[in-house]
């Protein structure tokens, strides 16, 4: 079988390898669709994420769906928690410190033709969901978890700071919750702003954080009730803190390039803000499946480019450029 291994910054290579052998509790999955995530882009463009760096050639990809050897269409939960630590036993498996996670440097992910994965981490795909829809359930799960952390109230004023795929999914979820949604992204990415507007958001071009005051004034009532920062950029954090009302919640979802994230302490303190950091997702796959299968969340319009595995370098080059929305690789 063929797999794509990351050897270092910008260095993806195709390899011919033996099909993996499933261990106890595992099944073989023929991978049909893999989404290129923002964290994959960090690995590819920067050679790592924070302290985690490329130590060996490994297979990226944690958003994927496929077909088991016996013909079942599935989405793959990329996280394999230990189920025994205090976090797991408390119902917070996303915080498991012993988790195995697909494509995180230590463990191989889905950018290959086959993968062996635990049966307990496979999510059945009902009709009419495709394997590519299954790959989109992972970013949707991140968005659902972030909204759970936001403690969103019906009819709230919500800001989404960064309109990549997760941001656009949050726009949809906010609208489902009856929120008035404001969204930002860089002016040089008009396709993202157009997508957010088409999904019902009021859009503002990002201007090094200065858009925060404009959104606060447009929202009225002293500002937003909730801000969801999904860009992983410092100006987006600044804008989110500026845009919210006193007593609001700011949820940091994006993965920053820099080792530290900061905010203006005087503003955040005087407003008495609650800052929350999102880590992957909780137990949300069932909700994600139901939302997509029922048509209440649209994941397909976010997929703008598809590539075969043989064109993996071109797929990542395009993803790094942010020229589209979601890039899917089809092994």
Rounded Cα–Cα distance for residues 150 and 159 (Å): 11
Q: Is 280 left (phi over 0), alpha (psi -120 to 50) or beta?
A: left
| Residue 303 predicted with pLDDT over 80 | yes
Q: What is the 3-state secondary structure (H, E, C) of 271-326?
A: HCCEEEECCCCCCCHHHHHHHHHCCCCCCHHHEEEEEEHHHHHHHHHHHHHCCCCE
Please check the confidence at residue 52 and state whether its pLDDT lies above 90: no
In the prediction, which pLDDT does 22 show?
95
Q: Kindly state the DSSP code that residue 263 receives in the 8-state scheme.
A: -
Backbone angles phi, psi at 205, to 5 degrees: -70, 135
CA 104 to CA 52: how far, in whole Å? 8
What whole-number distance in Å separates Cα of residue 321 and Cα of residue 69? 36
20: left (phi over 0), alpha (psi -120 to 50) or beta: beta
Separation of alpha carbons 266 and 263, rounded Å: 9
- Categorize the per-residue pLDDT at 120 as very low, low, confident or very high, splitting at 50, 70 and 90: very high
Confidence bin at 246 (pLDDT 50/70/90): very high
Q: What does the angle CA 72 – CA 287 – CA 306 come to, to the nearest 5 degrees? A: 60
The mean pLDDT value for 267-295 works out to: 93
pLDDT computed for residue 63 by the predictor: 96
199 neighbors 220 (Cβ within 8 angstroms): no
Percent of the chain whose predicted confidence (pLDDT) is above 90: 84
Q: Give the separation between CA 250 and CA 241, rounded to whole angstroms.
A: 7
Confidence of residue 47 (pLDDT cuts 50, 70, 90): confident
- Cβ atoms of 158 and 180 within 8 Å: the answer is yes
Q: Give backbone dihedrals phi and psi of 87, rounded to 5 degrees, phi first.
A: -65, -45
Q: Which domains does the chain have, with CATH numbers?
A: 2-124+299-330 (3.90.180.10), 142-277 (3.40.50.720)
Q: Which residues lie below 8 Å from residue 23, measured CB to CB, with a gap of 6+?
A: 116
Alpha-carbon distance of 199 to 61, in angstroms, equals: 27
249-263 average pLDDT score: 87
pLDDT above 70 coverage of the chain, percent: 100
Other C-beta atoms lying within 10 Å of the C-beta of residue 318: 17
What's the mean pLDDT in 132-145?
Answer: 97
- Residue 153 and residue 78: Cα distance in Å, rounded? 30
Per-residue pLDDT tens for 67-82? 999 999 999 999 999 9
Task: Give this prediction's pTM.
Answer: 0.94
Q: How far is CA 140 from the centre of its chain?
A: 7
Distance between CA atoms of residues 306 and 290, nearest Å: 25
- pLDDT score, position 89: 94
User: How do residues 14-44 score in pLDDT, each as one tens digit?
Assistant: 999 999 999 999 999 999 999 999 889 988 9
For residue 264, pLDDT over 80 is answered with yes
pLDDT reported for residue 46:
87
The region, left, alpha or beta by phi > 0 then psi within -120 to 50, assigned to residue 38 is: alpha
- Measuring CA to CA, which residue among 40, 30, 42 is closest to residue 112? 30
Among residues 13, 84, 9, 11, which one has the least CA distance to residue 48?
9
Mean pLDDT, the chain, whole residue set? 94
């Amino acid at each position: 079988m063929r797999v794509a291994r990351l050897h270092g910054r910008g260095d993806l290579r195709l390899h011919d390898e033996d099909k993996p052998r499933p261990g106890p509790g595992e099944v073989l999955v023929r991978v049909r669709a893999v989404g290129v995530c923002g964290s994959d882009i960090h690995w590819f463009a920067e050679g790592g994420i924070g302290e985690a760096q490329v130590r060996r050639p490994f297979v990226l990809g944690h958003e994927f769906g496929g077909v088991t050897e016996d013909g079942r269409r599935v989405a793959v939960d990329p996280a394999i928690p230990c189920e025994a630590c205090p976090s797991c036993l408390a119902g917070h498996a996303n915080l498991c410190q012993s988790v195995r996670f697909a494509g995180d440097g230590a463990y191989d992910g889905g950018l290959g033709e086959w993968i062996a994965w635990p049966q307990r981490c496979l999510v059945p795909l009902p009709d009419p969901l495709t394997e590519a829809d299954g790959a989109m359930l992972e970013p949707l799960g991140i968005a659902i978890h972030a909204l759970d952390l936001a403690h969103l109230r019906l009819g709230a004023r919500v800001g989404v700071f960064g309109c990549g795929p997760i941001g656009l999914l949050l726009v949809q979820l906010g609208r489902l919750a009856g929120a008035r949604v404001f969204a930002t992204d860089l002016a040089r990415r008009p396709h993202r702003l157009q997508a957010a507007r088409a999904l019902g958001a009021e859009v503002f071009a990002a201007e090094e954080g200065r858009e925060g005051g404009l959104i606060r004034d447009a929202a009225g009532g002293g500002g937003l009730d909730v801000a969801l920062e999904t860009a992983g950029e410092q100006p987006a954090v600044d804008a989110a803190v500026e845009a919210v009302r006193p007593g609001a919640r700011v949820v940091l979802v994006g993965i920053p390039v820099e080792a530290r994230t900061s905010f203006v302490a005087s503003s955040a303190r005087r407003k008495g803000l609650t800052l929350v950091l999102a880590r992957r997702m909780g137990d949300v796959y069932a909700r994600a499946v139901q939302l997509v299968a029922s048509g209440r969340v649209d994941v397909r319009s976010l997929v703008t480019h598809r590539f075969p595995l043989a064109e993996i370098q071109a797929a990542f080059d395009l993803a790094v450029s942010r020229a589209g929305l979601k890039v899917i690789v089809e092994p």
